[in-house]
A and B are shown apart, each in its own frame.
Chain A
Amino acid sequence: MDAPALETRDLTIRFGGHVAVDRVSCSFRAGTLTAIVGPNGAGKTTYFNLISGQLKASAGTVLLKGEDVTALPVSARTHRGMGRAFQLTNLFPNLTVAENVRLAVQSRAGVGLDLMRLWSDRTALIEKAEAMLGRVRLADRRQATVASLSHGDQRKLEVALMLALEPDIFMFDEPTAGMSVDEVPTILELIQEIKSRAQATILLVEHKMDVVRSLADRIIVLHNGQLVADGPPAEVIASPVVQEAYLGVAAA
């Protein structure tokens, strides 16, 4: 049988005495969208950081397509197909929108160490970046610096960078946070579109339950760093442990 697209085994990280992620074992199959929910401080973003490599695990392993990547640096995991859109917008503020996307495109193309050929001669890559800008509806802002973009546009660019990497694993960390109501649909449509591709493995941290209900094939719940529930959306949302942990309703 083929290995899951992504798997964590007993993944743990401690900060001093505090266990932020506690022995989380979970596998993610290609072609599914898994929503990760839980109260603030439950360890969702920390779990993402462990998977994509920004944090080094205290114990446990991360497997990408069956291969142990726990010891690999962030950049190597990216090249193996891990893509991530960050919760707090994390871009190159003084470069233009187009340059930001091109950086992602050229990373995917593996031409970063090319010293002597001009950027402007890489027409194929530039076209690819332009197409990506069209997809996230930022084409008309291509020459603006990122610092001058609205928050919503920065969020869209954040997603565009991940898409431009053409990853196998898409990790969205609260993609709609802080967006105005009329901007949210663009992002949701994008996620929907990625989901429609058979092999995409999507992990989504999201607080808005209506978004989770409409998109997720499966929900896992983190609470105090532990995996406390895992299953189809309707079932998980109805379970008492979620009512208590996530919605803050005391178990009767």
Chain B
Amino acid sequence: MIARLLSGDLPRSHALTVVLVIVLVSLAGAPFLFPGSQSLNVAAKICVFIVLAASYDLLLGYTGIVSFAHTMFYGIGGYGIAIAMHGIGANWGAMGVGIALALLVSLILAVVIGLFSLRVRAIFFAMITLAVASAFAVLASQLRDITGGEDGRSYSVPAMFRPSFRLFEQPVLGVSITGRILTYYIVFTSSLLLFLAALRIVNSPFGRVLQAIRENEFRAEALGYRVVVYRTVASVLSAGMATLAGVLMALWLRYTGPDTTLSFAIMIDILLMVVIGGMGTLYGAVLGATIFILAQNYLQVVMGKLSAATSGIPLLPQLLHPDRWLLWLGILFVLSVYFFPTGIVGRLRSGRLKA
């Protein structure tokens, strides 16, 4: 049953299974296990970035396509919701229209980029996606009347998603079920479903062809697979998933702006999540996204405590000062890429083989 749900793609490592179960249980029970708006915010971000990193891994890890336009599709999802909610109003119809239009725009852009540029060599494709994504980011900040420009758009969401909404009159397990928690569970459930769908795709005959293309494009074509078609379909699927991740984030934040959706910094974050977790294993996206978002949010706190604890020792308190958190994040990444070139998942799986 579980194997079926995971499309037969089991973690294949005890340690990995344990970690994945911890992540799943923590996210599923987040509102009850870690009450408070900040921790719920972190949990929602982890859910969305798992989808975003998994969809990017579909391109990078499975098909061997390097694209820098992934945040563009993520942004299209966010702006779809923003523009519809702001322009039409905070109702379900507007939400549906926003999602449908965002998916349509992403689909068209992914097909056009795919057919025009997936024929060329990988490095040129990467550059084209970079150019298109930059152009889109400029466009989003220039079209102030539609997108809100650099300030972005804040908007209301349907009443059910608002913090003042109460699902039950009585608190459940000591937590009152607000619209916030309801939104969280929509984000969590959608993310879980999208992740399982991605797992299914990579374990379908289609997924095997993608891996074949990554391994040896020339031979895949000789076996009768039209490589450009498969790459384009993979790009479209990945773009669609990124768009839906953008939709979920927009519903959660009730705000869409260039810095939270289209910035190149997010693109780099996604890339690191996939590489650190392990390319070509969707579970890697789960670990990568979880570790990254946790580090981003809690490293400063941990460092502040360490800095205070080491206050008597020379130099250490300065090194551990919360302002140095980016330095330590950087060091952690360099070390993890150096010691786990196949990512955390690759490391855990090969550890099992040696045992």
Q: Which residues of A contact B (CB under 8 A)?
A: 52, 54, 73-76, 78-79, 84, 86, 90-95, 99, 102-104, 106-108, 111-120, 122, 161, 165
Q: Whose C-beta in chain A lies nearest to the C-beta of B233?
A: A113
A52 CA to B215 CA, complexed, in Å: 21
26 A-B contacts (beta carbon < 8 Å): A52-B222, A54-B218, A73-B226, A78-B222, A79-B224, A90-B216, A90-B219, A90-B222, A91-B219, A92-B212, A92-B219, A93-B216, A94-B215, A95-B215, A99-B211, A112-B205, A113-B229, A114-B204, A114-B206, A115-B200, A115-B201, A115-B237, A116-B200, A119-B8, A119-B207, A165-B224
B-chain residues with CB within 8 Å of residue A91 when the two chains form the complex: 216, 219
B209 lies within 8 A of chain A by Cβ = yes
A-chain residues with CB within 8 Å of residue B216 when the two chains form the complex: 90-93
B interface size (C-beta, 8 A): 29
- List 7 extra interface pairs beyond A102-B208, A114-B206, CB under 8 A: A73-B226, A75-B221, A79-B224, A93-B216, A107-B224, A117-B205, A119-B204
Shortest beta-carbon distance, A102 to chain B, in Å?
Answer: 7
B225 lies within 8 A of chain A by Cβ = yes
B206 touches A115 (CB 8 A): yes
Shortest beta-carbon distance, A166 to chain B, in Å?
Answer: 11
Shortest beta-carbon distance, B20 to chain A, in Å?
Answer: 20
Q: Which of A90, A120, A122 is the one whose CB lies under 8 Å from B218?
A: A90
B-chain residues with CB within 8 Å of residue A99 when the two chains form the complex: 208, 211
B223 lies within 8 A of chain A by Cβ = yes
B-chain residues with CB within 8 Å of residue A115 when the two chains form the complex: 200-201, 204, 206-207, 237
Shortest beta-carbon distance, A91 to chain B, in Å?
Answer: 7
A84 CA to B219 CA, complexed, in Å: 10
B156 lies within 8 A of chain A by Cβ = no
A84 CA to B224 CA, complexed, in Å: 11
B204 touches A117 (CB 8 A): yes
Q: Which of B201, B204, B206, B224 is the one whose CB lies under 8 Å from A78?
A: B224
A-chain residues with CB within 8 Å of residue B233 when the two chains form the complex: 113
A-chain residues with CB within 8 Å of residue B206 when the two chains form the complex: 112-115
B340 lies within 8 A of chain A by Cβ = no
Using A92-B211, A92-B216 as known contacts, say yes or no to A75 and B204 having CB atoms under 8 A apart.
no
A20 CA to B206 CA, complexed, in Å: 37
A161 CA to B206 CA, complexed, in Å: 18
B203 lies within 8 A of chain A by Cβ = yes
Shortest beta-carbon distance, B180 to chain A, in Å?
Answer: 34
B7 lies within 8 A of chain A by Cβ = yes
Q: Which of B208, B211, B215, B224 is the one whose CB lies under 8 Å from A75?
A: B224
Shortest beta-carbon distance, A141 to chain B, in Å?
Answer: 17
A162 CA to B215 CA, complexed, in Å: 18
B-chain residues with CB within 8 Å of residue A73 when the two chains form the complex: 221, 226
A74 touches B204 (CB 8 A): no
B230 lies within 8 A of chain A by Cβ = yes
